[in-house]
Amino acid sequence: LTGTSREQRAFQYLLAHAIPGDPHHILQTFDQWCYHCEHLSCAHAMSGRIVERVLLERAPLRVLELGTYCGYGTVLLAQGLPPGARLYTIEGDPRHAAVAEKVIRLAGFSEQTVELIVGPSEEVIPRLREKHGLTNANLVFMDHCKRCYLRDLRLLESHQLLAEGATILADNVLFPGAPHFLQYAKTCGKYHSKVHRASLEY
C-alpha cells in the first residue's frame, strides 16, 4: 500500500532506530525488524556468529561477498575485518543494491573499506582483477542464488581469484540447498569441507 518495497521499509526503520556509525547496533536493529515486523532473507544472528568466528580465525585482508542483498552480511563482514582490509561485495539487483549502499554507509564504512559492485556475478567476477583491483580473495562469502554457487566458485578458480588457503563460506547449502556445489567441494580434492548447522533466517 505504501508503494515501497520491504527492503526500503527496513531501511526506513534503521534510519529511525539505529545508531549511525555503529555496525553492531545496525545489525541488532535489522534483527529486531526481521523478528517483529517483516521477514528478510538475509544472514542473521546465528549464522552471523559463524561468520564472526571465521573472520577472527582467518583475519582476511581481501574479502569477496556474492549477494549483498540489503547489506546485512556486508556490515557483518566489514565490522570483523582486520585493519587495512578491503571488502568487495556484488549484488545483481540494482534496487537491492541501492538499499544496501545506504545501509553500508549508515554503518560507517567508506568506499575505501567496502566497494559495492552492481551486476550479475558471472559478468563481474571475470572483471574483478582488471576493473576493481582484486588480485585474489582470502575469504569468499556466498549468499546469493544457490544454483550459482558452483558456477561462481569455478569462475573464481578459473580466473585465479582465490588466494592460497582461501576460505569459502557458503550459506544455506542444505536448504534451500546447493547440492552440486556441496558435492564438488567434497569430491574435487581442492578443499577441506565442513557443514555448520544453523537455523533458517529468523
| Structure confidence by residue, pLDDT tens digits, 120-165 | 999 999 999 999 999 999 999 999 999 999 999 999 999 999 999 9
In a domain, 181, yes or no: yes
Q: Which domain holds residue 148?
A: 46-188
In a domain, 165, yes or no: yes
* Active-site annotation holder among 31, 52, 93, 201: 201
| Rounded-to-integer distance, Cα 91 and Cα 68, Å | 5
| Rounded-to-integer distance, Cα 39 and Cα 26, Å | 16
Is 136 a residue of the active site? no
**Mean of pLDDT values over 160-182:** 92
In a domain, 152, yes or no: yes
Is 143 a residue of the active site? yes
In a domain, 195, yes or no: no
* Active-site annotation holder among 7, 91, 101, 143: 143
Q: Are 139 and 55 in contact, with CB atoms under 8 Å apart?
A: yes
In a domain, 7, yes or no: no
**Mean of pLDDT values over 114-119:** 98
Q: What is the pLDDT of residue 49?
A: 87
> Order of strands, edge to edge, in the sheet holding 62-66?
114-118, 86-91, 62-66, 137-142, 162-170
Q: What is the pLDDT of residue 202?
A: 56
Q: What is the pTM of this model?
A: 0.93
* Active-site annotation holder among 7, 65, 101, 171: 171
Is 201 a residue of the active site? yes
Q: What is the CATH number of the domain that holds 136?
A: 3.40.50.150
Nearest to 146, CA basis, from 45, 34, 67, 65 = 67
Q: Are 132 and 88 in contact, with CB atoms under 8 Å apart?
A: yes
Nearest to 64, CA basis, from 143, 10, 120 = 143
* Active-site annotation holder among 172, 186, 190, 194: 172
**Mean of pLDDT values over 86-110:** 97
The pLDDT-based confidence of 44 (bands split at 50, 70, 90) is: low
In a domain, 99, yes or no: yes
Q: How far is CA 179 from CA 20, 41, 127, 184, 198, in A?
A: 39, 20, 27, 9, 17
Is 93 a residue of the active site? no
Is 146 a residue of the active site? yes
Structural domains counted in the chain: 1
In a domain, 88, yes or no: yes
In a domain, 22, yes or no: no
* Active-site annotation holder among 7, 65, 91, 146: 146
